[in-house]
Structure 1
Amino acid sequence: MGRKRKSVPDLNGGVPRSFGEDVKRVRLARGLTQKHLGTATGYSEGYVSKVEKGTIIPSMKFAEGCDRAFGTGGLFAESLRRLMNVDHPDWFAPFVDLERQASGICDYSTNLVFGGAQTREYARAVLRSGQPLDTPEQTAAKVDLRIERVKLHEQDQPPLLWLVLDEACLRRQVGGPEVMRAQLRYLTVVAERPAVTMQVLPFASGAPPAESPFTLLRFPMATGQPPVLYSEGQGLGRVIDSPERVDDARNLFDRLRADALSPAQSLSLLHSAMGDHTR
């Protein structure tokens, strides 16, 4: 029996929820059930339910399927396109929900340590720097949510995790020397876990195959959820389920891990970098 998944708080505000509410309104007006709409769009009844509740980001494929099912002439596709161009940081919340369901996670980090492997103090330093107008209470709440991602990999049946960290993640002093030493020490613990493969992409490897961080998620076959790509830019993250984009990212990840140090060499570099962070 699979492990029970905890629900993730809905942090989306009104952005994706407004889309889901429109889908529900038109679906009911057309006399369709969630199951009917799922069949028409190529998704499950559960997926439709999550879109309508605003707990996941709908894909463009789903929006286009809604237009075909409803006869709305591209209205939903255009609406989603506008929403995805909004600089709205809470778009990250649905990714967290998908991350909790994943059976495998591949992540490439360019400057900052993967969120699911951060210590509390490191996460606090990152969030305070990136969102300086937050109150201490808001920062603390976001840190707690990030630590929930960390706990995902500390449970008895964690997803398989493959991390490729650019060497910059080890050298950039986030939160001061003590915070960085503690963060690197924690990474050495993470690297020893059976479900984790960790590699460092050294500066000496030259220009990296990918310039931006990204994460690939795959899911148990029984769920019917296709693999997705999470791509992040300045203040905006997107979950992409396009098979072509996912395949491209998978190829990039293969090249990154080929250029990276072996897990044993990476662990040695982690220990070495730990000693470089002094007062």
Structure 2
Amino acid sequence: MDQQPQDRTIWQKCWSWLYTGHTGSGGYFTYLSMKREHIWGAPVRVWRMLMRRRTSHPVPLLYVVVGGIGLLIGIAGQKTLKMRWWSAPLILLVTAWTYFFSSIWWRSVQHPTSLRTDLLAAIAPKRGARRRLRESCERFLASPLPIFGIDGEEAPELSGMSMEGEKVTHFSILYPDRGMVAILGPDTESAEVEEHLRGELISLRVNELADQAPHANDPGDCCERVISETVNLDWSDTVLTIGSDQVPGFSTSFSGHVVAFAQAKSCWVAIIARPEESLPQLRELSEAERETLASRIGIDEQQ
């Protein structure tokens, strides 16, 4: 494997910082602090949260350019209007900073939680986490997407949920012994449904290989092999039974798993059946069952 040079000159680092806002050339990571969050650290946490919430992120070079333009205006104004030379660059820099800082209030799919909730999480992390869970429950209950589950099975688990802003776009229902049912919004294209199922299959297969031989395969090589095997899945016509309706759809199989999806009630319904299981009949869950699922959101985090 070719070795990439890691040493960079101070000028390269300075230019990288001006142009991008950081000096690193590799990937980025975050971590979960195991330290107790003290109240006197709240101002720093609030400031960091506000900087992360900005929808528009300036780079230092932009401020240099704005300051330079302001300096030219200030020098010209000092000679013609007798104004102080530093007033123009100061006004322009404050205006630019205020504009980008105001983006914390702009609507963005990257920040589904409200500013009020994020402020509470920065000041009192435990209370903020509880409020986030409560907001997730409320959005799940208010979602117009129907919920389909496996007929004859009880006590499913909500295994995943995606949101764009305050709108729920996808959630998955897990039956540990039977498989998984995914509901995707009406704005989703069929190709996106296929890609979603492909990702689920890759995750399932990699986990199966890891369980079968934990130390036999390199995780990276194993993942790449599974990805290449799922590139060209052979989809064929099928029929899903949803309640009393026979809904036309598409199905395929991979590593023993039977996969199918169809469009029903203005949403996409997808299912991945466990190995040695045929496609089960589906039914729409009741409001009481939806509330039971919502009540279990985040239950593992609270324990």
TM-score range, shorter chain: under 0.3
The structure whose Rg is larger is 2
Structure with greater helix percent: 1
TM-score using structure 1 length: 0.25
Structure with greater strand percent: 2
